[in-house]
Each structure stands twice: as structure tokens, then as C-alpha cells.
Structure 1
């Protein structure tokens, strides 16, 4: 770490930036966080208004290219079938998420050893286990211990959300098929928790939650971080990580809310701007010592982009189930096909996630199901289908490929003239086979459950919620961007703590793993500072700790 300054600056106030800020500030460190967006008023969310479904589609859409808020930056998504979706603001994309909260499995960290593809992580599940537990407590996780498909875990802070009629029906169908399923771990309160109301099962969790039942980093981590002394600057658009003559980071330059240029000096810089924003800022910070982008000696910065390509099967059942009631994406998971199997023509696997019915307008306009025809038959079709549907998403494990990448667009700029990220991405043959198998499995499950019709979609476009792997973690600086402690190999006082550092993507939602990695990285900074302080005190006292003498004279 840089001895010149004990200050820490974090770029990004989302899931990982908030967790990191709290952990460091609670340890007494001076932390400043720069956030491009602003605070959200959860008491004034779109779901409190009659036109919330229209707002959800346009003004408050998932994609910044559709939303076009002043705090957004555009993305060039013309060269990818999966459209990147993200949100700038305090809480980051947890403002716009469904709050699925699964952990990686131990096998997800050992893909190369087990299946001969991709790479192994330099850390494993058990390195993160205690941080997963801490994160469960702060985010407020509801779920059920005892899943035989995952390592033993302590009880969740709250019991699981109810399955509802549709979930119970599908659970019985999975049981008859002999396929393993389990209730979802979710960052949604099933009862009153730390001043947050219990979920009332209204449904559109991605729009925000006036009851604060659905967790987001602004209502969980940030109150704790601010109380511990962290400073948060909103409307701060970072445009450069400044470096000294030695190539190490010296701080972050940004445009404030009025467009003025500002700078925060720091001994440690931490990036938490997601798998697109972090590599983008590092590319924008090229210098004489870092001509290809800051920390890009390996040439991997921006490469190995992984999403979770998602297919879906939707079904209509013969009787109403009011399946629109409840958290829209949080019911149960079937991970029966999660691991590599010799009988499959693909490696790794996928999970199926039960999604509830759409709201009225979305159903009428064709959300998960085909659009209802206009005219005399429209109302008849609406009555026959609304509240009788459910969907199973097929979430696949996307293996890393260097051809899938993010670059700086030569033409598209944001409001301040900064190059936008451009996505270059193709679905692999392995992933396509996974999706096809998942479509067949989901169709079979719905048929077993008694559905009268099914409708498959082999690729959902606006599912680029997870942008992973663009600054790979690893031991070797020649084949990775950061080390096991999230420090950039070529700039050891610069860290990345978001999904950029992922080595593999697993086949499930990454937020708990992102936050666990961020908490662990913060603890490594704390330990390093304490070791340094202890060594300095020992030197002043006139003696040298024995640990520093290991190997002396060899």
C-alpha cells in the first residue's frame, strides 16, 4: 500500500463498493466513495403510482440506453445478442434487481480441475464462507438451511418466502421427476428485520420497495458505512485514475454534479463500478507506464466477458393460481442439471428458476407469453391466461472466451465526452447446447405439472445484468489482471472488487459472491495496514518482528 496517504477512495456505491466502504470505515480508515448517480427515494417508487407498468418499460427500464437518465452513460450493444443492463446510483444495480441470493458452489471455483475447461480460481468457497455469512446478516437473507446440493450453512436470518400455489405445484412436479430443487435464498425480508417491513408479496421488486423489504445496498450497507465515518459523494463521474511516475495510483479525478473537474488524492484506490465500468475507467487511465490501459500488462483487461445467457419456457395452467402475487423472481431453484454430466453434449450446466406471472399490462402486451391478439378475442384471451401462468428461466454457465470483450467505442460518448463501452459478444456452441437442453427440461417439468400449453424462448435479450470476468483474478500476472486479494498486479495500491475479477461465472446470480469478495478484499487491506503499523512501531522500539526475519541469511 502507498505509505504517502492512508486515504482510500472507492469508485462506485453499489453492492461491492458499499460493502467495502463499510468494512474499511468500521476499521477506522478514512474512506471516500464517488458515485455517478444519486440516492433513490424508496417511498416514492413507481409502484406507488397507477402507471407503474408504463414507467417500468420506459423511464425506469433496466437498460441505460432505454432509461437515458443524466447520470447514465450509454453502451454500444450493437455487437451482442445480450443487452447490458445496469443502474447508476447509490445502491447500484441492487436498486433494479430481483434479489435472488444464491452462493457459488465449491465446484464453481475448480472448473479447470474438475472439467478441464476455463481456469481455477486462486481462492475457494471456504475462503469466502465467513464473508457470505456476514453478508447474509447485513443484507437480510430469507431462506432455508439444509440444501443437500450445497455445503452445510448456518440458519438464514429469516425463514423463506412462501412458494405460493404455482411454486408448490412445480415443487411436486420436480419431486415426481426426481429432480433436486430447493427454495430460493433471497435478499427480501420474510418478516420485520432491522427496521425493514416484511414482504407483502406485491410483486414488482425491480421497481423499488416502499416497505424496504427488498434489500438494496443503499438501505443495508450505506447507513452502516456512513455511521462509521465513510464519506459518499454523489453526482461524481470518475474519468481517470491518476498515477505517479512509479505507475502507482495517487487518486481519482472526476466531474462533479455541476461539471467541474475535481480530484481526490488517496493512497489506495478501489474500483467497484461493475464489469463494464471498472475496465472502462482503467482503459481511460492509460499512461506512459500503462500504455494499453492501467494494469493491462497481461492484455486481458476488458476480455473474457461472461454473462448468464438465459432461455425461458412459459406455461399456462388450466386453473387460476394468482401466481402474480409474490416476489417476481424468488420462488424456487432446480439445480439438478448444474454440474457436468457424461451423458450431456456440453460441459458444466444450468439452473432453472421459477418466475411468477406478469402484471396485467405486461401480460396483455406479451411479456413471457406471446402478445394477445387485439380485437374481440383479446379480453377472452386475457381472462383465460392471466394469473394462470408461470415461467422457468434457464440460467447457463457462460465459459470465458477472450473474443468476448469490452472496448472503448471510438464514436459513442457520454454527456461529458468520455468514450462509451462497446460490447463484443457471441453465444458459444457449448452454451447454445445448454440452453436447448434446459428448454427441453423446463418443458418436461411444466408438462409434468399439468400445463395446458408451453412457450419457449431460447434467448432473452435484456438479461445482461451480470457482466463478469473483464479483469480476471489469478496468481500469474501474465494471465490475470488482479491477484487473489483483488490487487491489480501492475499497480498494487489499485484494487477491483466487483464482478470484473470473476474467473468463471457459475450458473447463478453473482451478487452474494461479489459482496463476499469485496468484504474479503477489505479485510486484506485492514490486515496489511495493521501489519505495517505493527512493524513501524516495532522499528521505533528498536527490534524487528521474527516474522520479518524469515529466510534471512539464505
Structure 2
């Protein structure tokens, strides 16, 4: 059905325009800049080094490779690569009495926002609770009660830390130096798990079990932060680099904070906003 957005189905008409050229298997390695202007983009394709010039350059190589390209190019604003982060995720599971689950037709049947925002965020991260329509850790073992459980995924807000950052090694390859999640996120994990009992109160819950922390939520962000002050951020409100005034950075790398929600719609909205403001 081709229902999920991809570049191929979402931008097919744009790609067909005679003024558009798409280079595949082309790895951007450097940006060549003079003063406050990026003059050219260098890339590697088919074993050869090439370059292309442009008046406006848009960088959207994700929160690992975008800062790596800038660092490799010697365009090292003090905050380039600093503060990379993602949501802190964990799984829980509730056993329920007499109600079968897994009747829905989607992967996630609902999202609960009861712990998303409030006064509690002064001391610990907000949380988004996913009701999963899949048995991630198996069904129940009791005869006839196999489906009487509710798997939950919880994504918790983290606080960017400068110790978590992107660097490049001697060969120019990106390296992620990740020290730890913040204490703010850890308090959010503890508080959100304690709050699951209230969320599940309408159900006949027999037991609520913490299953495991997730190694990643795969939503890398925050390594080229947006802000008004060039001394503490890399791009401005239009997502233009504070020093390189023809370089626009798009993607979740510009996020100044780490909300619990998935970043894709915010990435799209910010990119459209940036295009409108620059046009």
C-alpha cells in the first residue's frame, strides 16, 4: 500500500523536476568555507573526491554525522557535537484478571499523557506511556490466560549534558562519547514507574512488573543546538548557523531539549518553518 512516508513516495514529483539532481552513494566529507560563507560541499563517490558549489547549503545528516562533518571541516563552534541525547526508555508489563488483550490492529493501541507534563518536571523528566499491541516478552503461562497482560513502553525526557558529545578520530570518523543519562532522567524513570499504578487503575491489575531498561530509543538529537545566543548554541531560530550564514541545519540535531515524544513530526515542522522563514 506504500502508506508509510519515504523519500521515494513523498518526494517523487520533486525528484522528477528537471532542475533537481539526486546523487546516490555519495558521502559528504567536508564543507569548504571562507569567512562566514560555505562555498562548496566535498563528497566521495565511486572512489573519487568531488565537490559541488552552492549559494545556500542545507545540512541534514542526523545528530551524529552533521556535527562530524562540521568538525572534520574545521568548523568547530564550541558547542558543535555537545549534548547529544535521546529519550530514556524502559519496558513494564501488567498482568490483568479476566480481560484478554491484543485485539487492536496497530502496533501501539494508545498513548497516555498523564505523566507527560506538570509541576513534577521541575525535578524529574516527563514520560510518555505506550500501550503495546505485541507480546514483547511472551504470553502468560497459565492455561486460558495467555493474553491477559498489558505490555508497556515508557519514554522519559532527558536533560542534555555537555559530557555526552560527538567527536571525530584521527581518520575523521565520528565517535560518540556518551557518559551517562542525567539524574533528571533517572528521577523521571523512578517517578513514572511509580505512576503507572494510577494510569492502570481502571483495569483489574494483578501485578505490575518492571521488565528492563532499553539500550536506546534510536532518536539521536541535540548535538547542534538551536538558540538565540551564539555563545551557547550552534544555530539560530531559523536553523541558520550562527557564523556560517548560508548554512541551514535541519533534523533533530538542532533540538535544544529532549522531549519524551518521537521527534519525526517536530523535525518536519521545524524544517518547513525554516524554509518559510528563509524564503
TM-score normalised by the shorter chain: which range applies?
0.7 to 0.9
- The whole-number CA distance in structure 1 between the counterparts of 2:247 and 2:211 is 42
Give 1:217 shift: 3.8
The yes-or-no answer on 1:336 pairing with 2:114 is: yes
Give 1:339 shift: 2.0
Indicate if the aligned counterparts of 1:357 and 1:388 stay in contact, CA closer than 8 A: no
Calculate the TM-score normalised by the size of structure 2.
Answer: 0.88
* SS of equivalent to 2:272: helix
Flag the structure with higher helix content: 1
Calculate the TM-score normalised by the size of structure 1.
Answer: 0.46
Give 1:516 shift: 0.9
- The whole-number CA distance in structure 1 between the counterparts of 2:145 and 2:40 is 56
2:132 to 320, 336, 355: 355
Q: Counterparts of 1:21-170 in structure 2 under 5 Å?
A: none
- The whole-number CA distance in structure 2 between the counterparts of 1:215 and 1:451 is 37
Q: Once superposed, what is the RMSD of the aligned Cα atoms? A: 2.6
Q: Which residue of 1 aligns with 2:48?
A: 260
Query: 1:174-208 CA deviation, whole Å, 9 max, x = no partner?
Result: xxxxxxxxxxxxxxxxxxxxxxxxxxxxxxxxxxx
- The whole-number CA distance in structure 1 between the counterparts of 2:216 and 2:125 is 23
Indicate if the aligned counterparts of 2:222 and 2:254 stay in contact, CA closer than 8 A: yes
Q: Which residue of 1 aligns with 2:242?
A: 489
- The whole-number CA distance in structure 2 between the counterparts of 1:510 and 1:443 is 27
Q: Which residue of 2 aligns with 1:455?
A: 209
Indicate if the aligned counterparts of 1:355 and 1:392 stay in contact, CA closer than 8 A: yes
1:408 to 161, 168, 174: 168
- The whole-number CA distance in structure 2 between the counterparts of 1:383 and 1:214 is 38
2:91 to 304, 308, 312: 312
Query: 1:510-550 CA deviation, whole Å, 9 max, x = no partner?
Result: 11111111111122332xxxxxxxxxxxxxxxxxxxxxxxx
Q: Which residue of 2 aligns with 1:518?
A: 271
Q: Please tell me whether Structure 1 or Structure 2 has the larger radius of gyration of its CA atoms.
A: 1
Structure 1 unaligned regions, length at least 5: 1-210, 359-367, 373-379, 411-416, 527-554
Q: Which residue of 1 aligns with 2:20?
A: 230
Give 1:443 shift: 4.2
Query: 1:400-430 CA deviation, whole Å, 9 max, x = no partner?
Result: 22122222245xxxxxx64132231312212
1:250 to 39, 44, 54: 39
Query: 1:76-109 CA deviation, whole Å, 9 max, x = no partner?
Result: xxxxxxxxxxxxxxxxxxxxxxxxxxxxxxxxxx
Query: 1:377-396 CA deviation, whole Å, 9 max, x = no partner?
Result: xxx93976654433222222
- The whole-number CA distance in structure 2 between the counterparts of 1:384 and 1:399 is 44
Q: Counterparts of 1:284-323 in structure 2 under 5 Å?
A: 284-286=72-74, 290=75, 293=76, 296=77, 299-318=78-97, 321=100, 323=102
Give 1:230 shift: 2.8
Give 1:267 shift: 1.4
Aligned residues: 278
Indicate if the aligned counterparts of 1:333 and 1:352 stay in contact, CA closer than 8 A: yes
2:183 to 429, 439, 461: 429
Flag the structure with higher strand content: 2
Over 3 Å counting, the alpha-carbon distance change for 1:276 and 1:385 in structure 2 is: farther
